[in-house]
Amino acid sequence: MKTRYVFLLFVSAAAAAAFLPGGAQGQDRNTSRPRGSPTTGSLGILQHGDWQCALPGDAGGDAFVEVPAEAFRIGTASSYENPEGNGIYLLRGTELVFTRGPKKDQRFRVRGENTMQKLNPDRSLSKLICTRIGTGS
């Protein structure tokens, strides 16, 4: 009797796969990828800790002007957090993109182990530079 149920289950699964709209196709990886995600370079992670972001100052005043709203903390498992919440980032080659959370779709170009520069939506370099200032422990 068990064989009959297994056979009926198999036949009904095959019929459902054959006749349902869309068939038995898997997830479309292109549509699930973050908008404009980097597609070249090896995967990596950022140094853990607190990152401070600033704009350049001028010769008559401060050397830089801190932008507290852009600051964030890098944690384990490609995660970050800031006062607005937490999320995930993807570092591929020298391009970093925040894929989830409050900084979603923001992009940076990694300039060194502890420095990166924000990219404008057209991927040109902005003036905002973020620097790791501590381990955050």
- The domain spans of the chain are 42-134
Q: Which of the four CATH numbers 1.10.287, 3.40.50, 1.20.140, 2.40.128 does domain 42-134 have?
A: 2.40.128
Closest among 63, 88, 68, 92 to 78, alpha carbons compared: 88
Q: Looking at the predicted structure, is the pLDDT value of residue 137 above 60?
A: no
Buried b (16+ CB within 10 A) or exposed e, 33-63: eeeeebeeeeeeebebeebbbbeeeeeeeee
**% of the chain at pLDDT higher than 90:** 61
pTM: 0.69
Hey, is 15 helix, strand or coil?
helix
Are 125 and 107 in contact by the 8 Å Cβ rule? The answer is no
